């Protein structure tokens, strides 16, 4: 043992003890402050000028599409992100149909109301009809949801075939602990009716952050488009890890789950809107550098 190492006998021996020790060390701090050693990262930016605020949000929305493209979440006409307008609560922005995620810019987005009427933005292309029904139902049911993401990503589709929640197998998946994760157990083909959209929103529930859509894929939501997009990339990776764990378990290796108290604590420390906003910034900054900020136009 190296001279600076801590003896195993000196460490807390149970998940409960570890969780209690962590909680005591982070008292009186927000989750973002707790994550920072030294100066704290700033809060989510807001602008008093509505047009500046709108452009900021749409730029991050377009950046999220670019990140999704780089991660391989594209599939033909499928996939959409919605973003509630900062001025009009009953309107949201979404992507034009048949434009590759990797080409989208802030100026490409379409503004629609809850009835499907185009109210602004890019009028040269239609929005995705199935996407509109899904997102309008979610935004109506959840005033706290400012953005929602859905694509037909590979591992999300694979895990959706089991119509089961992700298991608490590691730290990252605890971001979807408890009511933060839901499963939509119906599948009737492409969503082309309002009733289906309403059932989907109801399945998400009042606290849902991520949902497995049976035989379909994943849906995530957030208070910012950054939060919703980060949770999507995380849920997709968690589906990949779950499938790897299932393959190993099929060969006789037993799974060891995160204990309930530790999962709950980690979720509470990780689910803060500011912390989740910052979780997405490294991917967004990378895309900004690689595209020379093209998506902000």
* The two three-digit tokens of residue 86, written as one number: 């900062």
Q: Cβ–Cβ contacts within 10 Å for residue 1, how many?
A: 7
Q: What is the DSSP string of 80-102?
A: EEEEE-SS-TTEEEEPBTT--GG
Taking each continuous run of H as one helix and of E as one strand, the counts in the chain are: 9, 8
Strand partners, 120: 111
How do the pLDDT tens digits run along the chain, 297 residues long? 333 333 334 334 444 444 454 555 556 789 999 999 999 999 999 999 999 999 999 999 999 999 999 999 999 999 999 999 999 999 999 999 999 999 999 999 999 999 999 999 999 999 999 889 999 999 999 999 999 999 999 999 999 999 999 999 999 999 999 999 999 999 876 666 788 889 999 999 999 999 999 999 999 999 999 999 999 999 999 999 999 999 999 999 999 999 999 999 999 999 999 999 999 999 999 999 999 999 999
* The two three-digit tokens of residue 49, written as one number: 């000028």
Residue 147, classed as helix, strand or coil, is strand
Max CA distance (Å), the chain: 69
pLDDT at 90: 96
pLDDT tens-digit readout, 127-151 = 999 889 999 999 999 999 999 999 9
pLDDT at 191: 63
Chain-centroid distance, C-alpha 101 = 16
Compute the chain's Rg from CA coordinates: 20
Q: Is 194 within 8 Å of 137 (Cβ atoms)?
A: yes
Inter-residue long-range contacts of 186-195, CB under 8 Å, 24+ positions, other chains counted: 186/214, 187/213, 187/214, 187/215, 187/216, 190/130, 191/130, 191/133, 191/134, 192/129, 192/130, 192/133, 193/133, 194/133, 194/137
Please choose, from the candidates 132, 155, 141, 173, the residue with its C-alpha nearest in 3D space to the C-alpha of residue 270. Answer: 173
- Cβ contacts of 91 within 8 Å, gap of 6 or more: 84, 85, 111, 112, 113, 114, 119
DSSP 211: E
Read off φ and ψ for residue 74, nearest 5 degrees. -85, 150
Cα–Cα distance, 2 to 23 (Å, whole number): 28
Rounded (10°) angle between helices 260-270 and 273-291: 60
pLDDT at 25: 53
Cα–Cα distance, 111 to 82 (Å, whole number): 9
Rounded (10°) angle between helices 273-291 and 50-70: 70
Read off φ and ψ for residue 68, nearest 5 degrees. -60, -40
Pairing state between β 80-84 and 147-151? antiparallel
pLDDT at 29: 87
């Amino acid at each position: 043992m190296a001279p600076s190492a801590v003896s195993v006998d000196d460490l807390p021996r149970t998940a409960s003890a570890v969780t209690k020790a962590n909680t005591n060390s982070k008292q009186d701090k927000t989750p973002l402050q707790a994550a920072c050693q030294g100066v704290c990262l700033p809060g989510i930016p807001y602008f008093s000028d509505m047009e500046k605020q709108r452009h900021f949000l749409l730029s991050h929305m377009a950046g999220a599409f670019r990140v999704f493209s780089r991660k391989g979440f594209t599939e033909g006409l499928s996939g959409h992100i919605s973003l509630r307008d900062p001025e009009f609560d009953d309107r949201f922005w979404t992507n034009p149909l048949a434009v590759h995620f990797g080409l989208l810019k802030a100026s490409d987005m379409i503004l629609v109301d809850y009835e499907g009427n185009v109210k602004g933005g890019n009028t040269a292309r239609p929005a995705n009809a199935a996407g509109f029904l899904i997102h309008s139902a979610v935004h109506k049911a959840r005033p706290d949801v400012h953005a929602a993401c859905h694509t037909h990503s590979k591992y999300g589709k694979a895990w959706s075939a089991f119509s089961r929640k992700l298991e608490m197998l590691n730290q990252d998946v605890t971001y979807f602990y408890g009511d933060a994760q839901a499963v939509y157990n119906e599948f009737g083909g492409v969503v082309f009716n309002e009733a289906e959209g309403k059932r989907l929103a109801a399945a998400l529930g009042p606290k849902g952050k991520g949902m497995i859509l049976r035989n379909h894929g994943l849906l995530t939501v957030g208070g910012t488009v950054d939060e919703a997009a980060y949770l999507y990339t995380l849920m997709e990776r968690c589906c990949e890890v779950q499938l790897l764990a299932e393959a190993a378990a099929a060969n006789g290796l037993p799974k060891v789950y995160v204990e309930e108290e530790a999962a709950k604590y980690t979720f509470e420390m990780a689910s803060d809107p500011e912390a989740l906003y910052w979780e997405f910034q490294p991917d967004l900054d990378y895309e900004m550098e690689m595209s020379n900020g093209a998506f902000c136009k």
